[in-house]
Amino acid sequence: MLSALYKLGKYVAKKEEMGHEDIFPDEMKLKRTKKLLVITLDDDFNYLDVMLESFDIKDEEKLKKLLYKGGPPAGVNFTPTSIVTSGPDATFKSRVLKWFKNHDNSEFLNGIGVELENQKDQIILDLKEKYSNLSKDDKVNVVLTIAIKKVDKMKYVGDYLIFQDILKKESIERYYNLKTIGESKGEGNCYLCNDERELFGYVPNAFGFSFSNADKKGNAPNFIQRDQWKQVPICEECGVSLEAGKKFVEKYLAFTMFSIRYYVIPNFLFKGELEAYDQFYEEVKFYEGKTYEKGLADEEKGLYEFVKDMDDILEFKFLFYETKSGGKYTDILNYVESVLPSWVTKIHEAQKNVLNDILFQENNLKKIFGTSAVNNFVTFRNSKNKYVITKTNWYAAFLRDFFPFKTDNKYYLDIMASIIGGKPVNKDFLISYFMEKIRRLHRQNPENDYTVKVYTTESLMLLMLLNELNLNKGADKVNIGTNNDLDNEKDFFELYGEFIDTPDKKASFLMGILTKKLTSIQYRALGSTPFTTKLWGLSLDQKKLQKLYPMIINKLREYKRAYVDLEQNISLNLLESSQKWNLSRDETSFYFTLGFTMSGIFKPTKKDKGDLNE
């Protein structure tokens, strides 16, 4: 991963003619900033006022003038520009005044520092006044900085070479020196460029990657932290290239999808990389700043858009992460290597194929969910969901429904990484989580099966997607259906017989259909569905189904109803599976619930119409 980031950064730095003052600032940390508090001095370092200015990260000229790079939580930043966190007065004291006290070794800096100290009481009053008048939205990520007013213009931190030099010097110093440990450097061959140079041990730490955590002795060679340079030996030049690479990734290849954040890092596979980098660079820049119609959650579509037409001349590395300490550190949660553009495209195409299945189209959805269901299941869920779900990200949304961020994010990331990496996902594990969620919903309100049907449909689509991608470990391939109506259970088994292919699966599925028909009759007659309380909380096995079947038949007869073909089919499959029931409790419950959900799409036969006295 470091090698891919290094090569990308080396290319981008040359392509965009980036200097150190362009590479080191943490510009993307200011993407939410709308307002600047600018402590203004005149040319003789006399304090004038606090100016309130508007800001947009798209204004690259103003962005460079701020020269912002955050420092450690208890220290100062690399320049006297800071994000206001605990109030403008506290930020001024700890991040601006303190910065100049630590950098008073020149007449220019000392002059500014002395004036800020002398006028600190008035400056704090002015800061509080300007800040208090801001709206709640404008107070988000406010930036505090200084400027010197010339006769005809304002000069900011980034306009002065002295601040640029300090930023460069202290940024590179972080490559080999940590206050809590000391220096870690030596001579040898660089891990990235292989040249013999002076090597530094803390380079990944310097730009926030937590996988190289040098302040823990267990991560250092022979538990000697100062020997960290022997473990990840990187020279200064390559360290700067790494920072340029990360900067490009943060700006163009950082995505958010259903509470997970991830980087996509390209790595080219063949020689003659320059042309390939040029093609990729132009594709990425083409989509810069584009707003996707479906909202923030559809950002992931941007990745699909710029890789769908690319050949497999490169691979992607997906890095799932979260930030800590106010965004200063990147904690890597999961990592996927060697993802080809063709596989990214295949995931998106597979989603479309599953979504286009007749089961998930309006005609059948209305039979399952009622007249409010329109278009397809994703459109229907979009109208009911807090997330923005699209045809290119629904699998991630549905998985999140079963694996919440607070309790099961690790499992969620593992499954997402498996899908993106083209590795099999355990079907039994998935079904156990599907049923855990579905049972909980059923027990909360046994007589209201709406949410049960929603999540059962989601689980079916996920299993079909994994089968479409050949990733469903422990299951056979499921064919995607046609656009024809399903007249009866026989039609269903002809289309999806490889999914429900054994007597025990068929018996469970058909029993679910029959149970739903009974509860529908009860609802029409009573306005309630008391029989749903007899389903053991959807925790079913072979013995419970065998007990349940005569109970359903008896209750149907009380309502003078019979479903002759369906009942005969159930009896036959129960008999055939009596000595070879291979389904677990979760699987039995899942196929039953699936039949219960899909019951409405099957048309009654002539034998089923009317009551038994007709």
Secondary structure class of 182 (helix, strand, coil)? strand
Secondary structure class of 42 (helix, strand, coil)? strand
Given a cut of 80, is residue 98 above it in pLDDT?
A: yes
pLDDT, tens digit, 9 for 90 and up, residues 150-169: 988 999 999 999 999 999 99
- pLDDT at residue 295 in the model: 32
> Is residue 452 a contact partner of residue 438, using CB atoms and an 8 Å limit?
yes
Alpha-carbon 526 to chain mean position: 46
More confident residue, 256 or 112: 112
Secondary structure class of 200 (helix, strand, coil)? strand
Given a cut of 60, is residue 614 above it in pLDDT?
A: no
- pLDDT at residue 553 in the model: 97
- pLDDT at residue 605 in the model: 65
Cβ-count burial of 435 within 10 angstroms (0-12 exposed, 13-18 middle, 19+ buried)?
A: buried
pLDDT band at 299 (very low <50, low <70, confident <90, very high): very low
Which residues, in sequence order, are CB contacts of 81 under 8 Å at separation 6+? Answer: 66, 67, 68, 143, 144, 145, 146, 157
At residue 340, what is the residue type?
A: L
How many residues can be counted in the chain?
A: 614
pLDDT, tens digit, 9 for 90 and up, residues 477-496: 444 444 455 555 666 766 66
Given a cut of 80, is residue 96 above it in pLDDT?
A: yes
- Among the listed ranges 227-236, 378-387, 563-572, which one has the minimum average pLDDT value? 378-387
pLDDT, tens digit, 9 for 90 and up, residues 41-50: 999 999 999 9
Q: What is the mean pLDDT of residues 381-400?
A: 86
- pLDDT at residue 244 in the model: 96
For 309-371, give the DSSP string.
T--TTEEEEEEEEEEETTTTEEEEEEEEEEE-HHHHHHHHHHHHHHHTSGGGBHHHHHHHH-T
pLDDT band at 313 (very low <50, low <70, confident <90, very high): confident
pTM: 0.85
Q: What is the mean pLDDT of residues 72-96?
A: 93
- pLDDT at residue 222 in the model: 55
Q: What is the mean pLDDT of residues 421-437?
A: 96
More confident residue, 257 or 243: 243
Given a cut of 90, is residue 511 above it in pLDDT?
A: yes
Where does 215-340 have alpha helices with state H?
Answer: 228-231, 236-252, 273-286, 300-307
- Distance of alpha carbon 25 from alpha carbon 78, whole angstroms: 9
